Amino acid sequence: MTWGQPPPYAAGAPQARASRTGRTALRRWLLTGFVVVGFLLASLVLVVYYGATLGVVTTVLAVLLAVLPLGIVIPTFLWLDRFEAEPARYLVVAFLWGALVAALIAGIFNTGANIAFQSAIGNPDEAMLATAIFSAPLVEEASKGLLVLLIWWFRRREFDGITDGMVYAGIVAAGFAFTENIQYLGLAYQHGGGQALTGTFIARCLFTPFAHPMFTVMTGIGIGIAASTRSRVLKVLAPVCGYLLAAMLHALWNLGAVTGGQGMVATYLVVEVPIFLGFLVLVVWVRRREGRLIGRYLSPYADAGWLAPSEVTMLSTMSGRRAARVWAKAHGGRSALRAMESFQDASSELALLRARMHHSAADGRALETERSLLDTLSARRQAFLGA
């Protein structure tokens, strides 16, 4: 691959940066402290609960087994997030929210619902069935989807649309499933020994590791649509419809699970397998769609001379980006590779910012951010070409 000279741009323009005041830094530290303390308290409650109900040995065994599905689920959503990677700290918060806060909220509300159903129905088995079908889907999908909604609402500059909604929803759901699997695996081992533990591990961790992510992704898609539209009606209806669809799919799965036997097998083969295949197709389509969006919204910058047409072509496909990184490392070493990676990341942010501006969904600092990203592109291009 060969690269020409940088296209012309307005040299010498100052890079716009928002000045950080003492109060801004103080609020950031207070928020960080609040989040850390909240996660620590939630983890303490869950550790005490699992230690008391399952015992230390059983809990450790369940944790080790529950970690394994994460090696499949999380890389899938990181793969989806390759064009414009979300900040790592937000992804960590999303996972911890699902594993700690959402799991704790769901446990409290589902326990209360089960007690209420038992008082009303009088039959523990029917109360459990009612909780699984009516309470658990609504409560669990709300507790998981709340974090995605909060990120969109308070960090709109880090939320670009459907892809980001799916990524955050999938990571939150992976954390939730991890904690839930600890409970199911531990109870299976406690009541049925190794055979029950093996069956539960196969059913939950091998056959259905994407169950929770598939449900919550519906909420993420709804919030993603709301983030990229100018319609006030859609900003309300899309998240609500996504949440209701997530709860409906969750309830359908729980119905098959609690009926057991042939009912569960039939639900898995007839409903869950097709939904999972559709989910995989959706993930691939969304990633390719993001590449096309990046190419479309970077083209005006090529027309204005900020990018070369060959750069736009490279930036709109992952294969082109990989080839560019290989070229940069071969010609300039690790420093050029880092500059190329930064160039690609800034280009993705610029394209998705332009998409939000096109749909009147960007914030008031959009023009300032756009100029800052353009200056970054120019500096990074000079770095990997000059190397």
298 and 255 housed in the same domain: no
In a domain, 78, yes or no: yes
Closest CA to 7 of 308, 295, 304: 308
The separation between the first and the last C-alpha atoms of the chain, rounded to the nearest angstrom, is: 16
Tell whether 301 is covered by a domain: yes
Same domain flag for 142 and 255: yes
Any domain includes 65: yes
Q: Which domain covers residue 359, as residue numbers?
A: 294-386
Tell me the C-alpha distance between 23 and 25, whole Å. 5
Does 177 map to a domain? yes
Cβ-Cβ contacts under 8 Å for 215 (sequence gap 6 or more) = 137, 141, 173, 246, 247, 249, 250, 253
Q: Do 267 and 252 touch, CB atoms closer than 8 A?
A: yes
Long-range contacts of 280-288 (CB under 8 A, 24+ apart): 282/217, 283/76, 283/80, 283/166, 286/80, 286/162, 286/163, 286/166, 287/79, 287/80, 287/82, 287/83, 287/163
Identify whether 104 is part of a domain.
yes
SS3 content of the chain, % helix, strand, coil (to 5): 85, 0, 15
Write the single-letter amino acid at 379.
Answer: A
Domain closes at, from 240, 259, 278: 259
Structure tokens at 100: 């700690």
Residues 243 and 329 both lie in one domain:
no
Q: Which pLDDT tens digits describe the chain residue by residue (387 residues)?
A: 444 444 444 444 444 444 455 677 777 788 888 888 999 999 999 999 999 999 999 999 999 999 999 999 999 999 998 888 888 999 999 999 999 999 999 999 999 999 999 999 888 889 988 999 999 999 999 999 999 999 998 888 778 889 999 999 999 999 999 999 999 999 999 999 999 999 999 989 998 899 999 999 999 999 999 988 888 899 999 999 999 999 999 998 888 777 665 566 676 777 677 888 888 899 999 999 999 999 999 999 999 999 999 999 999 999 999 999 999 999 889 999 999 999 999 999 999 999 888 877 777 788 999 999 999 999 999 999 875
Q: Are both 334 and 186 inside the same structural domain? A: no
- Within 8 A by CB and 6+ apart from 175, the residues are 94, 95, 96, 97, 98, 99, 100, 102, 103
Helix and strand element counts for the chain (H, E): 15, 0
Q: Supply 174's token pair.
A: 């992976």
Report whether 188 contacts 114 (CB < 8 A).
no
